[in-house]
Each structure stands twice: as C-alpha cells, then as structure tokens.
Chains A and B, each alone.
Chain A
Amino acid sequence: MEPRPRSFYVLATFFSLFLLFLYGPTITIAILSFQGPGGGLTFPMRGTSLHWFRDLFEQQAVGDIWGSFRRSVTLGLMVMVTTVVLSVMGGLAFRKKFKGSGILFYLIITSLVIPSILISLGVGLIFSQSGLDVHWSTSGFGAQLTWTLPFGLLIMFAVFNRFDKAYEEAARDLGASAWQTLRHVVLPIIGPSLIGVALFGFTLSYDEFARTLLTAGSYNTLPLEIFGMTTNVTTPVLYALGTLTTVFSLLMIGLFLCLALYSTRRRARAGSDAGKGML
C-alpha cells in the first residue's frame, strides 16, 4: 500500500474532534449523573453515588417517569411495526410506476420537510374541533407516522433501486406465484434493510418531541416528560434520567445493528448454492 498522504492525518484529526464534539457532551452528563447527593449540575464532582438514579426509582419523586417510559416504548413499537409494513407496501407499489405515484412522492417529501409544529398544531386542531380527545395512541401515533414513514419509504426506494429484477423473473419462470415470489424471494433479499427501517421507526418515535407536543393528550410520552423537567428540575436527577434513556436507546440501536449484521451473514451463507447443485 502506498503511504498515507499528510492530508490524511489532518483529516483524521478533524474527524476525531468531530466525534468528540458529537459524544463529549453526552459522556459528560453520564459522568455527572453519578454526582454525590450534594452535587450540582456541573463539575466539580462532590463524591460519587447512585443517589440520583435511586431518586428516579422512588415513586413520584419527579413525576410519572416510568408511566411515560412505558407509553413511549409501546408507541415506539406501534410506530415501528406500522412503518415497516406500510413502507414495504409503498416501496412495492412504487416499483409499478403507477399513475399518480408522483403525487404520493411529493406528499412524502412534504411530510419530511414540513415544520413539525405544523403537524402538531393541525392534528391537535382537527381532534379538538371534531370533539375527539387527543391521545398518544391515536393522534400522537398518526402524527409520529408523518415523520417515520418518509424515512422508511426513502430507504425502500434506495433498496428497490438497487434490486435485481432477475431474481423475481427466475422465480416466476420456475412457477412461483406472485405471493410466493414475494414471500420466498423478495422479502428475504430486502430483509436486512427492513431492520434498518424498523430502527428508524422505533428510535425516531421514541425520541420525537415536536410532533407529539399537542397530540399526546394528558398522558405524556418520555421526551415530553423530560422537557417538562428541564423547567423545574435543577438537580442531576435530570442527567440520571438522560443517561438511562440514552443507554436504552443505545441498547436498542445495538440490538438492531446486530440483527442486521446477523441476517446479512445468514443471507450470505444460505443465499447462494452455487457449486452445490445436484447433478
């Protein structure tokens, strides 16, 4: 290999500083959440303890955190499943280049670029004017889909743009029905990308704030609860909560990435039987 040019070391330094910029603050609050009981929102550390984490587990010390956590996870799973199913269907539909697909495409772009507060305001108004109660599982659910579906569909577009139609043709030539082709050929091939769509669906919903602000109703999701805390909680318990929910997000991301890696490996192993054919 040729030696690295000097620019490599300059850029590598820049990149490392960028990573420090990305992760530094989060790591700082993770450290500060272990403050001793007398500690404040910034350094120096006054001893180390699990005091602030214990606070989180004490009933009603800081609001309904665990209730909102449960709601956020449930909502995240609902949004995830819906996003995956609808994105696959939408992606398949777009391959047919059907009439009117242009309109849908522009709707999706609009959904992506529209300021979140407009969705919040509009959905909130529709529900209040038609006498319905806003609730995280109805209005909140729909409002979040307008944010996750565009990501899901754009990923599906990217996947199907690179999809080799020859696989489907081969399946059809061998006598597979449309459903069999989808079930045994198309879905296994796009499987790993679906895990990506699921990751987007869950995490974007779990962290969404603006679109749920006016659509969640009287039961808060976790981000709303945390934002409420920023105005009246001035102890490291805020950091402890932030650390815990970030750790939870990281675990979920890790899980999804491992699943994607595993299914890619499995596909690579089981996908080709070249050279093993029965003569």
Chain B
Amino acid sequence: MLKNNTLVGWLMAGPIMAVLLFFLVLPIVMIVVVSFWRATEFSIIPAFVWENYEFLFGSNVTYRVFFNTFKYAAITWAFTLTIGFTVAYFLAFHVRTLTWQIVLFLLCTIPFWTSNIIRMISWIPFLGRNGIANSTLISWGVIDEPLDWLLFSDFAVILAFVHLYTLFMVVPIFNTMMRIDKSLIEAARDAGASGAQILWNVIIPLTKPGIMIGTIFVVTLVMGDFITVRFMSGSQSANVGRLISNDIALLAYPSASATAVVLLLTVLIVIGILLRFVDIRKEL
C-alpha cells in the first residue's frame, strides 16, 4: 500500500516536478556552471576558472552593493511589518462581520493582481519636481523650493517597495490572526490585562508565524529585485540585482552568474535562519 502511494504520488506530482526540474533546478545548475566560464567581448567560453569570483570579492563595489541590498531589505521590512500588522489587526479584531472583513481584505489584495511596473510609473506625478507632493508643500509654505530627493532617490525606492510589498505582510498576518481563538483574548481581559498588554503578550506571540512568513516574502522580494531600484532611483542607486542585470546587458554572463550564485546563497542563508522560527507546512 505504501509503495503504491509513492508511485501514484509521483505520477500525479510528475508534471510539476518536470517543470521545476527544467525551469528551476537546471537553470540554477547552469548558472553555477557558467559562473566558472570565461568571457570575451563577443562570446562566453566553457572553462573552470575562479576569476569571476575573484573579481567579485576583490571589488569594493560588491561590498557596497551588498550592504545597500541589506539596507533596502531592513528598512522595507520595518515599514511593511508596522503597516501590515496594523492593517491586519484592524481587519481581524475591529471589523465585526465576516462579509466586511472579506470585502476590505480584497480591497487590500486587488493591487497585487495588477502590474507592478504601472504602479511604479504611477508615482511620477506625485513625486516629480513639479509633482503633487512638491506643489502641495510649496502652497502650504512648508518649503520654498521643490525637493529634489522625492523621485529618483533611495526615498523613492523604499516608498515603492513599501507600496508594492506591504500586501505580503498583510495576508499571512491576517491569516494567523483569524485563527486566534477569541476566548484567549477574553480570558486575558478577564484576568485584568489592558489592551496594550493583550496585544503584546497574547496577540503578537500568537501571530509570530504569520509575521515570519511575511518577512520571508518581503525580504526575498526586496533582495532579489532589480527593476524597482533601477526605475525609482533613476539608475542612481544599485543593489545586487542591478549588478547582475548590468552584467547581462553587457553580455558578461559568467560574471553575472557568479554574482547570481552569491546572491542566491545569501538569500537561502537568510531564509534558512528565518525558517528556524516557523514551520511553514503547519501554517497553511
């Protein structure tokens, strides 16, 4: 019976396995292999050399860019967590009927199903030199001259990240909050806990798995990003993803691959650490 289960299981999971083998595992293997190749101006040549890695680790730019990547991830994480937690908390504990919970929750998720690029573009009229933010601030007399750092800056990059990815915090946190037994909260209140104490000692500990899953999403999305940083910083800031995409644009595939391998390892190590705090399979 057990053997039969395994056979049927593999047969049914076969197509997914095939797709993932060909379009996930094989590409990773390919990138690792190519990271040891040599590049000329016109082509890439199979070889086994460490020069791509030597160049990568020998360059100051690499460390700066990796630092920048972590910086984006950390700041975005802090903002998305604060906003996402507050939104989920409101939905789960302050909205009283299930219908309204679903409606408001859907309102939060719909932008996720629309184009990220359009959503980035849509910040231009707000943040531009003559944009809404600047003209409003000037008309209020807060500033005399338009601010230059609103668009095409680190500020814009973080703003776009928060705009695009807060949803990835809201959904898992809301999901775990909805499963908290309401009688636990009543018990805490009966025992004399204040609202803040209930939040800190009951709700937050029980919401931790959702927070961890949201964290994994946000951190990996930000660390792997290249397009948001390129677009919102006006090509003035760099993260690891942009390093890779610049190499690709120059057809320097071996060098791009070496950077990609290091990025993948970094992301996997971060995930590995985060997974110590949560069992994903239990949380679905």
Residue of A21, A122, A238, A250 near B26 (CB, 8 A) is A122
Q: Which residue of B lies closest to A126 (CB)?
A: B30
Q: For the complex, is A235 an interface residue (Cβ under 8 Å from B)?
A: no
Number of interchain pairs (Cβ within 8 Å): 257
Instruction: Collect the chain B residues with CB atoms within 8 Å of residue A11's CB.
Output: 86, 89-90, 94
Known: A42-B132, A149-B20, A250-B110. A227 touches B5 (CB 8 A): no
The CA of A133 and the CA of B46, in the complex, are separated in Å by 20
The CA of A142 and the CA of B16, in the complex, are separated in Å by 11
Instruction: Collect the chain B residues with CB atoms within 8 Å of residue A108's CB.
Output: 16, 20
Instruction: Collect the chain A residues with CB atoms within 8 Å of residue B106's CB.
Output: 257
The CA of A70 and the CA of B83, in the complex, are separated in Å by 37
Known: A121-B31, A121-B260. A207 touches B24 (CB 8 A): no
Q: Which residue of A lies closest to B15 (CB)?
A: A86
Residue of A29, A90, A105, A111 near B24 (CB, 8 A) is A111
CB distance from B219 to the nearest CB of A (A): 9
Known: A107-B25, A121-B256. A7 touches B195 (CB 8 A): yes
Q: For the complex, is A129 an interface residue (Cβ under 8 Å from B)?
A: yes
The CA of A96 and the CA of B8, in the complex, are separated in Å by 8
* Chain A 118-149 interface 0/1 with B at a Cβ cutoff of 8 Å (1 = within): 11011101100100000000000011011001
Binds B, one of A12-20, A60-68, A183-191: A12-20
The CA of A90 and the CA of B20, in the complex, are separated in Å by 12
Residue of B10, B126, B263 near A93 (CB, 8 A) is B10
Residue of A85, A122, A245 near B118 (CB, 8 A) is A245
Q: For the complex, is B211 an interface residue (Cβ under 8 Å from A)?
A: no
Whether A110 and B24, one on each chain, are in contact in the complex, defined by CB atoms closer than 8 angstroms, is yes
Known: A94-B13, A110-B24, A125-B253. A115 touches B224 (CB 8 A): yes
Whether B132 and A15, one on each chain, are in contact in the complex, defined by CB atoms closer than 8 angstroms, is no
CB distance from A108 to the nearest CB of B (A): 7
* Chain B 75-109 interface 0/1 with A at a Cβ cutoff of 8 Å (1 = within): 00000000100110111001010000000101110
Q: For the complex, is A154 an interface residue (Cβ under 8 Å from B)?
A: yes
Whether A207 and B116, one on each chain, are in contact in the complex, defined by CB atoms closer than 8 angstroms, is yes
CB distance from B134 to the nearest CB of A (A): 9
- How many A residues have CB within 8 A of the partner chain? 92
Given pairs A29-B125, A115-B224, A121-B257, 14 additional interface contacts (CB within 8 A)? A19-B108, A23-B111, A25-B163, A29-B118, A107-B20, A113-B267, A114-B224, A114-B267, A115-B223, A125-B34, A126-B30, A142-B22, A245-B115, A252-B113
26 A-B interface contacts by CB (under 8 A):
A8-B94, A11-B90, A15-B104, A18-B83, A18-B166, A22-B111, A25-B126, A85-B15, A94-B9, A99-B9, A107-B17, A109-B271, A113-B216, A114-B224, A115-B223, A118-B263, A123-B27, A125-B253, A126-B30, A129-B30, A146-B24, A203-B113, A209-B116, A226-B115, A230-B121, A245-B115
| Interface residues, chain B, with chain A CB atoms under 8 Å away | 2, 5-6, 8-13, 15-17, 19-20, 22-28, 30-31, 34, 83, 86-87, 89-91, 94, 96, 104, 106-108, 110-111, 113-119, 121-126, 128, 130-132, 135, 163, 166, 195, 216, 220, 223-227, 231, 241, 244-245, 248, 253, 256-257, 260, 263-264, 267-268, 271, 280-281, 284
